[in-house]
């Protein structure tokens, strides 16, 4: 089981056409315990030497947006939104 979505080719008359050609969008990595230390490490990795950007990136909403953007293209808006929402909930629950 994973947090994500599976997309198969589908024909209205035949149903799922090719079960082996599964196309997955998985954002499990964004749901791992995102403690402040984890977010700090992640943000340092993606921002390099830009120290001013790290505190902005560490905010839960920004962290989840950056993480989800690496997993799902932003033009897949519903899936991208679902990733962000799930990530924010998981991170807030972890911090409680």
pLDDT of residue 56: 93
2 or 59, which is more confident?
59
- 2 near 29, Cβ under 8 Å? no
How many helices (DSSP H) and strands (DSSP E) are in the chain? 4, 4
Does the pLDDT at position 60 exceed 70? yes
pLDDT of residue 9: 58
- 57 near 12, Cβ under 8 Å? no
pLDDT of residue 62: 93
Confidence of residue 14 (pLDDT cuts 50, 70, 90): low
Which residue from 79, 77, 40, 37 is spatially nearest to 62, judged by alpha carbons? 40
Question: Mean of the pLDDT values across residues 20-44?
Answer: 76
Q: Name the β-bridge partners of 6.
A: 24
Does the pLDDT at position 10 exceed 60? no
d(CA 72, CA 59): 20
Q: Name the β-bridge partners of 4.
A: 26
Q: Is the pTM of this model over 0.75?
A: no
């Amino acid at each position: 089981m994973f947090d994500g979505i599976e997309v198969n080719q589908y024909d209205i008359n035949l149903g799922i056409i090719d079960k082996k050609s599964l196309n997955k969008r998985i954002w499990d990595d964004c749901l791992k315990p995102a403690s402040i230390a984890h977010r700090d490490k992640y943000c340092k990795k993606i921002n390099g030497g830009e120290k001013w950007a790290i505190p902005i990136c560490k905010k839960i909403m920004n962290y989840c947006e950056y993480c989800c953007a690496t997993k799902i293209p932003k033009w897949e808006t519903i899936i991208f939104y679902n990733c962000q929402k799930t990530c924010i909930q998981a991170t807030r629950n972890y911090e409680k």
